């Protein structure tokens, strides 16, 4: 291995669904996506029980031979990995450079804080925190400790995100006139126990915090980053939340954001009881045609450019399939962390703190304007 390769030793905080997906992607050979400057190792797993940490590690060690992530097991990327029965032991482990936080939303603040205080860099799952106050505390702590900190909005780093931005921002379709983005999925929550994190108020349940980051990421990438917007934050024009009957968290949320510099309104929607349209989860409607992205908004691979009849240079509708690589697509954000750490950065230019702050602030405003059980709740920093 060349000496210029940046190795990141990851500590995984919690052993649930997303920690599994992320850890598997860390074990995919970076060369399969041309990331020849990066090496990921997993050196610690932290769980509330040692048994669960050990079972998680055993499962990784036992990955099937025919899966791309098996490569890391066979090439020593899990070698000497420790399984701890607490998160604190991972924060304290000198063989860990960076934490990946995969706990329920309401724990992101304390886990990230613990990691930064332990001198670790941190990649924290979305939503970054429960509210803006918590996020601002963490940003201040990252600056004080001089540690890298990023919200794990993986969609930003997928090849399709760059392709869609390039098309819309090039002006090929003319000015943007209207925008909508939706992440709705019927989770059949009536089958969940009341303790399930999607519906439990004590785990910051509800659709806006869990699903909202995805319509938001497309809004930020397409509209906020539009050259004519000059990075002007949008205004929340209206919002509405309906209640999930068993626990009074938000079941469906709709909000409208106004991008004044573009003269564009963005409609965002989330629902955990209604399936989103398969053929349209993001629609960017422009003067000369539309760009439509197929479901799911967190990892889409197909989009369509549909010109309006008799206007503009594009004459025919075309469907595009974005580039993909082996693995589940969470490795792109891990590569970004490794490169930022290598370059001594505290934040990512592609996923900067200010943009997490903007999205977090509209989640706060929507919650306060609504009538869910979380309406007046503050995070731990409040
Ligand atoms: N990027 C994405 O696409 C994506 C997808 C899904 C979820 N997420 C985010 O990832 C986070 C976790 O979601 P998940 O679906 O992975 O959840 P999950 O499967 O329920 O796992 C959460 C883990 O957190 C730990 N935990 C600590 N305190 C807990 C408590 N009081 N109750 C339940 N679990 C607790 C548990 O691990 P231990 O027992 O090992 O401590 C648990 O396995 C959420 O913030 C979510 O928004 C992101």
Query: Per residue in 255-292, pLDDT tens?
Result: 999 999 999 999 999 999 999 998 899 999 999 999 99
Say which CATH superfamily domain 6-154+330-349 falls into.
Answer: NAD(P)-binding Rossmann-like Domain (3.40.50.720)
Interval 330-380: pLDDT, tens:
999 999 999 999 999 999 999 999 999 999 999 999 999 999 999 999 999
**In the chain, where do the E strands start and end?**
6-13, 38-46, 82-84, 98-101, 121-125, 149-152, 176-184, 235-243, 250-259, 264-271, 282-286, 289-293, 302-307, 318-321
- Euclidean distance between the first and the last CA atom of the chain, given in angstroms as a whole number: 47
Residues 147, 116: contact at Cβ < 8 Å? yes
Give the number of the atom of ligand 1 that is nearest the alpha carbon of residue 154: 1
Domain with CATH 3.30.360.10 in the chain: 159-321+358-369
- Best residue among 15, 197, 201, 297 to mutate for probing ligand 1's pocket (most ligand atoms within 8 Å of CB) is 197
Q: Sorting pLDDT into bands at 50, 70 and 90, what band is 39?
A: very high
Looking at the DSSP bridge assignments, the partners of residue 236 are 257
For residue 109, CA distances in Å to 132, 243, 305 come to 11, 26, 40
- 17, 20, 84, 205: residue to mutate for ligand 1 pocket, most atoms within 8 A of CB: 17
Tell me how far the alpha carbon of residue 207 lies from the centroid of ligand 1, in angstroms.
Answer: 15
For residues 182 and 381, which has the higher predicted lDDT (pLDDT)?
182
Structure tokens given for 20: 């599994």
Please state the φ and ψ torsions of residue 91, each to the nearest 5 degrees. -55, -35
17 lines ligand 1 (CB under 6 A): yes
125 CB within 6 A, ligand 1 = yes
Is the CB–ligand 1 distance for residue 126 below 6 Å?
yes
Strand partners, 284: 179, 291
Strands 235-243 and 176-184: unpaired
Q: Is the per-residue pLDDT at 4 higher than 90?
A: no
| Mutation to probe ligand 1, out of 18, 101, 206, 332 (largest number of atoms < 8 A from CB) | 18
Return residue ranges of the chain for CATH 3.40.50.720: 6-154+330-349
Mean pLDDT, all residues of the chain: 97
The verdict on the CB of residue 47 being under 6 Å from ligand 1 is yes
Q: 290 CA to middle of ligand 1, Å?
A: 36
Cβ–ligand 1 contact at 103 (below 6 Å): yes
Distance 124 CA to ligand 1 centre (A): 11
pLDDT at 2 over 70: no
For residue 239, pLDDT beyond 80? yes
At residue 266, the pLDDT reads 98
Structure tokens of 22? 């992320």
* In the predicted structure, residue 1 carries a pLDDT above the cut 60: no
Name the residue with tokens 């949008």. 234
The region, left, alpha or beta by phi > 0 then psi within -120 to 50, assigned to residue 327 is left
pLDDT at 314 over 90: no
CA 117 to ligand 1 centroid distance, Å: 22
pLDDT bin (cut points 50, 70, 90) of residue 143 is very high
Per the CB < 8 A criterion, the answer to whether 255 and 182 are in contact is no
pLDDT of 188-228, one tens digit each?
999 999 999 999 999 999 999 999 999 999 999 999 999 99
CA of 126, closest atom in ligand 1: 47
Q: For 205, which DSSP code? A: -
Cis amide prior to 44 (ω within 30 degrees)? no
pLDDT at 312: 76
| 145 and 138 Cβ atoms separated by less than 8 Å | no
CB of 328 sitting under 6 A from ligand 1: no
Q: What average pLDDT does range 235-243 have in this prediction? A: 98
- Which residue shows structure tokens 């004519």? 228
Pocket mutation for ligand 1, best pick of 104, 161, 201 (most atoms within 8 Å of C-beta): 104
Q: Is 154 in the pocket of ligand 1 (CB under 6 A)?
A: yes
| Whether 83 contacts 45, CB under 8 Å | yes
The mean pLDDT of 32-45, rounded to a whole number, is 97
pLDDT (0 to 100) of residue 3: 54
Report the top-level CATH class of 159-321+358-369: alpha beta
Question: What is the pLDDT at residue 201?
Answer: 98
């Amino acid at each position: 291995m060349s000496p210029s390769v940046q190795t990141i030793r990851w500590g995984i905080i919690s052993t649930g669904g997303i920690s599994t997906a992320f850890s598997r992607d860390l074990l995919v050979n970076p060369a399969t996506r041309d990331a020849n400057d990066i090496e990921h190792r997993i050196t610690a797993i932290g769980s509330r029980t040692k048994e669960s940490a050990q079972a998680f590690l055993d499962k990784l060690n036992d990955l099937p031979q025919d899966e791309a992530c098996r490569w890391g097991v066979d090439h020593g990327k899990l070698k000497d990995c420790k399984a701890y029965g607490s998160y604190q032991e991972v924060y304290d482990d000198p063989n860990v450079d960076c934490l990946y936080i995969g706990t329920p939303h309401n724990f992101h603040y304390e886990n990230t804080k613990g990691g930064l205080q332990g001198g670790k860099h941190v990649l924290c799952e979305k939503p970054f925190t429960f509210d803006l106050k918590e996020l601002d505390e963490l940003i201040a702590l990252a600056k004080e400790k001089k540690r890298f900190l990023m919200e794990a909005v993986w969609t930003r780093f997928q090849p399709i995100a760059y392709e869609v931005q390039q098309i819309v921002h090039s002006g090929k379709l003319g000015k943007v006139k209207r925008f909508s983005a939706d992440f709705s999925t019927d989770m059949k929550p009536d089958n969940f126990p009341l303790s399930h994190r999607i519906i439990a108020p004590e785990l910051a349940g509800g659709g806006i915090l869990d699903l909202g980051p995805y319509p938001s990421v497309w809004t930020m990438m397409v509209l906020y980053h539009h050259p004519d917007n000059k990075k002007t934050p949008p205004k929340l024009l209206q919002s509405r939340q309906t209640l999930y009957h068993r626990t009074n968290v938000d079941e469906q949320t709709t909000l409208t954001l106004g991008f004044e510099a573009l003269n564009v309104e963005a409609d965002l929607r989330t629902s955990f009881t209604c399936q989103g349209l398969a053929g349209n989860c993001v629609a960017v409607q422009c003067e000369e045609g539309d760009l439509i992205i197929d479901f799911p908004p967190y990892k889409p691979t197909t989009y369509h450019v549909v010109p309006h009849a008799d206007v503009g240079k594009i004459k025919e509708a075309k469907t595009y399939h974005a580039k993909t690589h082996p693995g589940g697509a969470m490795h792109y954000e891990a590569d970004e962390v490794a490169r930022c750490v290598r370059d001594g950065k505290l934040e990512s230019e592609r996923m900067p703190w200010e943009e997490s702050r903007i999205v977090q602030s509209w989640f706060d405003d929507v919650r306060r304007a609504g009538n869910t059980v979380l309406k007046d709740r503050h995070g731990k920093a409040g």
